Amino acid sequence: MPETAKPSVLFVCVHNAGRSQMAAAFLTHLAGDRVEVRSAGSAPADTVNPAVVEALAEVGIDISAEVPKVLTVEAVQASDVVITMGCGDTCPVFPGKRYLDWQLTDPAGQGVDAVRPIRDEIEQRIRALLDEVAPTART
């Protein structure tokens, strides 16, 4: 990746309704336009988990307009870093990409009280990731 290129990160989980949405929202919130952020699911849900929307709203991040997106080969090819969160072997692997697998509790079917610790762990991981992929982008 050229020194001047904007890093790109793709977050993938099964439904793209919880973990990957939270991770993408935090990275977008913290990095602004300095990092290209995508999220997708191998079997996208119809809507984002309402408890996830509420948990992020509590920390000032609005994802109420987000919708789950299907994982495409093109999204993986266009990303420098691909972070999976429980999607198993459904994510295509391409040479030259950095792959990370974050083991995180699935917020599906859980209330906001159960989602908060997941949200907080994702925020910590995003801050560490941001220091790696775009150290000057951290706010």
Which are the catalytic amino acids? Answer: 13, 87, 91
CA distance 109 to 94: 33
Helix, strand or coil, per DSSP, at residue 78: coil
Instruction: Report residue 67 as tokens.
Output: 């919708």
Number of H helices, E strands in the chain: 4, 4
Distance CA 66, CA 77 (A): 22
For residues 139, 33, 93 and 100, what is the CA-based torsion angle, rounded to 10 degrees? Answer: 10
